[in-house]
Structure 1
Amino acid sequence: MLSHYCSIITSLEFSPDGKYVVSADRDFKIRVTVFPKKPLDGAHEIQSFCLGHTEFVSCLAFVCTQEYPQGFLVSGSGDSTVRLWDIPSGSLLNTCEIGEKAGLLESNDGETECCSAVTDLCTSLDGSLVAVAVQSLQGIVILNCDLSSRTLSHAKVVSICGGTFIPTSLRTCSATGLLWMVTGVSDLHVSEHPSLARVRVISGFRKSNPDSHQHEPLLLEDNEIPAGTKLLEKLQGSLSYSEEDFLAAAEAVKKAMSNLLIKKQYSAENREFRKRTRNDKKGKP
């Protein structure tokens, strides 16, 4: 359906009403395409472009409420921002600088990065919160999302202390207010070797009363998760990799993805040379 796209697609989502398919790519763009009546013929009718990111767009999510059932779009990027968009028009409504918050905490190697990429994000079911995973940030950033004023704002950073924390996926489900995270190597002692995945859970991922601290986002210990370690054992499984092997592989993946997603800059002379030596031009009259 999207085989005619000319850029690397980094994220793909369907709008809540099923009218649009929204794609993000390496070239800083978000494309809103009308979902076709005949998908096998391709999706060619463009509704809008969401333009404003200055690096690759890494992730997308929709935020909906009863007051705004049509929903809005939130996006994360390699430029360390999360942005709120109007879907039909592609208008940028608000920008939240996540990099400023990420700089407050140490990265996994003890250093801070001035421009850490947003790796994933997830919205609460009531549309009031956005959870954001940031490269090299030892925690999850929670944003307030106010659709009535079309704004995003910092609410809290939930720190994840100890162990390897490389968040790759965030999801929430049902009305429990639990945020599920897939991170680095598991340290559950269920076998001789750790598993490749580590599942962590944050409670209170929903809007709470401003005067109450009862439902504030909080990292749960394994024994506090519903069904406890038995559930985690099933979710995480077991693979024969040491943590040292995993860290080496994670660093290699990080470099490879950086080379893939961040566009290289060439001098004018270099660009002309690359154009003259393009493989797709060879053999043509």
Structure 2
Amino acid sequence: MEETEAEVAPALIAVHPHRSSVAVAVGCDLRVFDLLAGVGVTLLDDSSSSSSSSSSSFHKDSIRAIRFSANGKLFVSAGDDKTLKIWSSISWRCIFTLSSEKRISAVAISNNESYVCFADKFGVVWVVDITGFDANQPLLDKKPTPLLSHYCSIITSLEFSPDDRFILSADRDFKIRVTNFPNKPLNGAHEIQSFCLGHTEFVSCLAFFQAQEYQQHLLSGSGDSTVRLWDVSSGALLDTCEVANKAGLLESNGNGKSEEHGHAVTDLCTTLDGVALLSHNVSAQTLTLAKVVSIEGEAFVPTSLGYAPSARELWIVTGVSSLPGCSHPSFARVRVISGIDIEQEAVVLEDEKMPGGEKLLETLQGTASVDENVFLAAAEAVKAAMHNLLIKKQYPSESRESRKKTRNDRKLKQ
């Protein structure tokens, strides 16, 4: 049997909502740093063969989604090993491990921390009821239940609206579905509120404004190099910001589309003033490019963002796993941008000025030094990985039957 080439997985980052910790996932490694104590976190997972340091793997394949819950008590990780793990961010013990039928592509936690949802590569969204969980006790006898489906389209992003009224799912086929989240979700979600249609390439990310007066405004990023502003209830497109063109990354080709394999929007996070470095005018319902922050001297292609509201910091990461021909096949590079308010000058912090300093970088990045050539190779690998992640693979007819015979889908017992 031919050895299959390992898939490159972009690095991910998540910041605790109260800035008490920050997590980075690269490949199957999950790394957490306690910003309050100034030390790396030891993760504990009783379902693993042994407990060890934060740089060890508790997933057996690439992690594709990580996130904290709204108040920071829970942390979720999931990915290509078809497992989802729920962690207590107080003890950093895994309190629940769940098996999926397919690889997991996206996760979401309801803001009231009663439900965890995840999407698989087949386009199905599942829900797990965690009502009344105890962060110090393992969750028992919890099984996922199908909630909704996009019918064979890879779901790229899941988000609950701030009031938990809706669950939003975006997919590879340019769609954003707004679904009413029912009172009894274990019976399925059958009422669609709206569709947000307008992107011309895969939808890569979704983000809500947290302020009360903005909660019906959704933002989406896409492979078409745009960020779009939507009214959730009606699905109406309110504004479009062509990020790549306005940032000077692309020359306009006259039809509003980016070049093939162009500058995809990979992630979004909302601040009190806008989205990353876009400005949101609420009354006019428009988006404008406020400023562009460049990281000079590095081939830095951000793969994931995290925002710390209390410190007004934007955390960014680049990195990949399984980088071909590299002596350090999995690596991550973390940077922090301070002063991202519209009125202030954004500054990329030097390593020694970052929260946590060298200890943080050793925990989240590893101790191995990475030269500029590796960054250049990683930048190209990131672009290819984002593209390959969201396209439908074509297999020659002679290999299809063989693949069917060797499939290892896990059938969940209802």
TM-score by length of 1: 0.72
Contact 2:299-2:375 at 8 Å conserved across structures: no
Secondary structure at 1:231 match in 2 = helix
Q: CA-to-partner distance for each residue in 1:56-109, whole Å, 9 max, x for gaps? A: 11111001324x05341000011111000111111111000112034348xxxx
Using the TM superposition, name which of 23-32 and 164-173 deviates more: 164-173
> In terms of mean alpha carbon deviation, does 241-250 or 33-42 score higher?
241-250
Asked if structure 1 preserves the Cα contact closer than 8 Å seen for 2:319 and 2:378, the reply is no
State the secondary structure of the residue aligned to 1:122.
coil
> Contact conserved, 1:65 with 1:71, CA < 8 A, in 2?
no
The equivalent of 2:197 in structure 1 is 51
Q: Which residue of 2 aligns with 1:237?
A: 366
Structure 2 residues not aligned, in runs of 5+: 1-125, 127-146, 251-257, 321-326, 402-414
Aligned to 2:188: 42
Once residues 10 and 37 of structure 1 are traced to their aligned partners in structure 2, the CA distance between those partners, rounded to angstroms, is 25
Aligned to 2:263: 116
1:167 partner amino acid: P
Partner of 2:348: 219
Deviations 1:13-58 (A, max 9, x none): 1110111111111111111111122223222211110011111111
Q: What are the Cα deviations for residues 203-235 of structure 1, in whole angstroms up to 9, with x where unaligned?
A: 112343xxxxxx222211112222322222222
1:204 aligns with 2:339: yes
Q: Is the 8 A contact 2:241 2:287 kept in 1?
A: yes
SS in 2 for 1:171: strand
- The structure with higher relative contact order (CA 8 Å, sep 6+) is 2
Report how far residue 163 of structure 1 moved: 2.7
Are residues 1:81 and 2:256 paired?
Answer: no
229-238 or 198-207, which deviates more: 229-238
What is the distance in 2 between the residues matched to 1:182 and 1:252?
15
| Number of corresponding residues | 236
Q: 1:94 aligns to what? A: 239
RMSD, aligned α-carbons: 3.1
Kept in 2: contact 1:47–1:88 (CA 8 A): yes
Tell me the percent identity.
64
Q: Summarize deviations over 1:107-153 as a string: whole Å, max 9, x none.
A: xxxxxx844111111110x2x2211xxxxxxxxxx211111211100
Contact 1:193 1:242 in 2 (8 A): no
Structure 1 residues 237, 43: closer, same or farther in 2, change over 3 A? farther
Instruction: Give the corresponding residue for 2:215.
Output: 70
- CA distances 1:242-270 after superposition (whole Å, capped 9, x unpaired): 87677656645643542452579xxxxxx
Q: Secondary structure at the match of 2:156?
A: strand
Distance 2:193 2:232 in 1: 9
Determine if the alignment matches structure 1 residue 25 to structure 2 residue 160: no
1:144 match:
279
For 2:163 and 2:373, locate their aligned partners in 1 and report how far apart those are by CA, in whole Å: 45
TM-score (norm 2): 0.51
Identify which of 143, 156, 159 aligns with 1:13.
Answer: 159
Distance 1:23 1:119 in 2: 16
In the alignment, is the contact (CA less than 8 A) between 1:13 and 1:60 conserved in 2? Answer: yes
Per the alignment, do residues 218 and 87 of structure 1 end up closer, same or farther by CA in structure 2, a change over 3 Å counting? Answer: same
The gaps in structure 1 that reach 5 residues or longer are: 106-112, 132-141, 186-191, 209-214, 265-273, 280-285
**Aligned residue type for 2:192:** I
Query: C-alpha distance in 2, partners of 1:259/1:15?
Result: 29
Asked if the contact 2:177–2:194 (Cα under 8 Å) also holds between the matched residues in 1, the reply is yes
